[in-house]
Amino acid sequence: MPRRLLAAAAAAAAALSLVTTSSAAQADTGPLDYVALGDSYSAASGVLPPDPTAPLLCLRSTRNYPHVLAARTGAELTDVTCGAAQTSHFTTAQYPGVAPQVAALGADTDLVTMTIGGNDSGVFVGAILSCGAAGILTLGRGSPCKDKFGSRFEDTVRASTYPALVAALRAVRAKAPNAEVAVLGYPWILPATGGCFDRMPVATGDVPYLRSLQATLNDAVARAAAATGATYVDFGAVSEGHDACQRFGVRWIEPVLQTTNPVVVHPNALGEAAMATRTISVLGLG
């Protein structure tokens, strides 16, 4: 074969190889197969508009952080988040006709996110309700909740919620062995001190008490993530100053009174968007 034809054939082969490599690279960088699990903080319960594809009792919003994250990254989202979910609902049905959440996972799942643990044993929700009732009775003075319950709530988180979180995350890993798993902490509900009795009826002395309980819950989530190879998305610093005592447009969590959401003490749309932004940053998806 003449030298010129040999050179042309070599160039053609190189070009074909480049096209093949480029096509393979495009295939490898397709949309993420993203599954969102978790409770009402994941579902954005109370934020309008509701997700028409969700079971009615799950109170899922189309403005929850999974939808925001998927829209910003181009990920293909399967959203099975559900308000009031506990860790047990990863492997058992929460409501009749609602499959266990891990049923949405598979070997092809690329990304899993969740907030979970806050509803377990009724500890966190129970503490907020108990402390609110106690605060009303004392007109916001003293620390009636701390005086009555002491370390009971935090002890339950350490003894019961933590191992339940580990079991739930192991169930996720078993169903989605190739996925990046991200577990979000809960943004601050109350400031470190002071409070806002007109919006969050918690006695002044119980504000740091509930804040400590939330820190203990987030610590349990972080430790469970570390124990199972998941990524913990920490909101301790970024949610400071965005608690339920702040004005509308600044707060990420809605208060009990003077609220804009029917589901109180939960993230609003601003909070959900901030949760998505933080998760994208921690996971390097942006």
Catalytic residues: 40, 266
**Cβ-proximal residues to 22 (8 Å cutoff; 6+ apart), any chain:** none
Task: Please tell me the distance from the alpha carbon of residue 241 to that of residue 5, in angstroms, as a whole number.
Answer: 71
Task: Please tell me the distance from the alpha carbon of residue 66 to that of residue 37, in angstroms, as a whole number.
Answer: 9
3-state secondary structure of 131: helix
Strand 76-79 versus strand 33-36 pairing type = parallel
- What sign results for the dihedral spanned by CA atoms 142, 144, 148, 152? negative
- Which among 101, 65, 128, 26 has a CA at the least distance from the CA of 269? 65
Task: Please tell me the distance from the alpha carbon of residue 277 to that of residue 280, in angstroms, as a whole number.
Answer: 5
Name the one residue in this structure whose structure tokens are 């969740």: 114
**Cβ-proximal residues to 270 (8 Å cutoff; 6+ apart), any chain:** 249, 251, 252
Name the residue type at position 220. Answer: A
Name the residue type at position 46. Answer: G
